[in-house]
Amino acid sequence: MRVSTSMMYDGLTEKLATNAADLATLQSQISTGRKYANASDAPGIVGHVQALESRLKTLEADTKAVSQVKVGVESQSRAMEVASGAIDRLKEIAFQGANDPQPQAVLDQLAEEVAGIKRSLLDLANTRDAAGRYVFGGARSGEPPYTINPDGTVVYSGATSPLRVRISDASYEDAAVPGTQVWKGIKRGTETVGMFDALSEFEQALRDGNLSGRSQALQDVGAIADNLGVSVAKTGSAQQRLDLIESQAQETSIRAQSALSDLKDLDIASAMAQLQKQELLMQASQSLLGRLSKLSLLQFIQ
């Protein structure tokens, strides 16, 4: 089959158009730093990109939630540290008050100190974090969980369910200890007495010089200290879990961002090399096309 000048001209023209399109695509990619400008340019990649971007948004929301809860848990931990010091002082007072005989003036001084510690513990039980949430209110953290009645009794109005945080698509973790597990009642045989009620009774036993009440307070304060110790351990465990969860979410996010970058971002060095190649091909095609256009059919046959 004889190849005509027209056929060669048409082939070169088609090749030149393809080179021009490829060159324009490369120039667009280099200017944006992306492998594609429109979704239609790379439908196979776009689906993966959208899935990764959706996953990153979920991870960002989960990490933000964990970070916010950590603020509350840390506030709980600090409040319990202060409370531990106050309860250590209560132990000393209880030990001193259980000794007999004691001058009533001394017992009255101890009673005043117990009353002050009780008020301090109540303030700690209503601790708020930097976001203004009452950290011992459980899932109901928008209002003070503990209130004191005119008769001196203390009432808990927070939630008994703990604050929970989402850590994955189908998993949640308890992230804060409710007040009922921290400032909890103490056992006296088969009876349970509220912590603040027990402190009020301790104060009154000191004012009345009641030796049996003062002796009971020694046991009560020991139980209060034990309860708080368990809560401190739970809070420490919650902090460790949240740190681990946050770290895992951040690591997963970094991997997802890297994968997203691989899909979307252009390898500039490789693209520049390809651009130079396309430009050379374009120049060669244009040169050959120019030479071919000057040939006559007779010159080509010869």
Pick from 118-132, 208-222, 253-267: least confident: 253-267
Please state the rounded mean pLDDT for residues 278-293. Answer: 58
pTM equals 0.68
Question: Which residues, other chains included, contact 86 with Cβ-Cβ below 8 Å and sequence gap of 6+?
Answer: 117, 120, 121, 124
What pLDDT, on a 0 to 100 scale, did the predictor assign at position 163?
73
Looking at per-residue pLDDT, the higher value among 240 and 298 belongs to 240
How confident is the model over 263-286, as a mean pLDDT? 58
pLDDT tens, residue by residue, 161-213: 877 776 666 667 666 788 988 999 999 989 999 999 999 999 999 999 999 99
Domain ranges of the chain: 68-260
What DSSP string describes 245-296? Answer: HHHHHHHHHHHHHHHHHHHHB--HHHHHHHHHHHHHHHHHHHHHHHHHHH--
What residue type is 63 in one-letter code?
Answer: T
Kindly tell me if the per-residue pLDDT of 122 is higher than 90. yes
CA distance 282 to 17: 9
Q: Which fold has domain 68-260?
A: f41 fragment of flagellin, N-terminal domain (1.20.1330)
**Helical residues (DSSP H) of 33-42, grouped into ranges:** none
CA–CA distance, 229 with 236 (Å, rounded to integer): 11
* pLDDT value of residue 298: 46
pLDDT reported for residue 297: 47
Structure tokens at 17: 């158009």
Mean pLDDT for the stretch of residues 248-265: 71
Q: Render pLDDT for 78-89 as a digit per residue (tens, 0 to 9).
A: 999 999 999 999
**Quick one: pLDDT at residue 5?**
59
Pick from 14-18, 134-138, 177-181, 218-222 the range whose average pLDDT is largest.
Answer: 218-222
The predicted structure's pLDDT at residue 224: 95
Torsion of CA 62, 67, 73, 74, to 10 degrees: 170
Tens-place pLDDT, residues 37-68: 555 555 566 666 667 777 778 777 777 777 77
B/e letters for 130-145, b = 16+ CB within 10 Å, e = fewer, are eeebbbbbbebbeeeb
Residue 34 three-state SS: strand
Q: Which two tokens stand for residue 132?
A: 């203004």
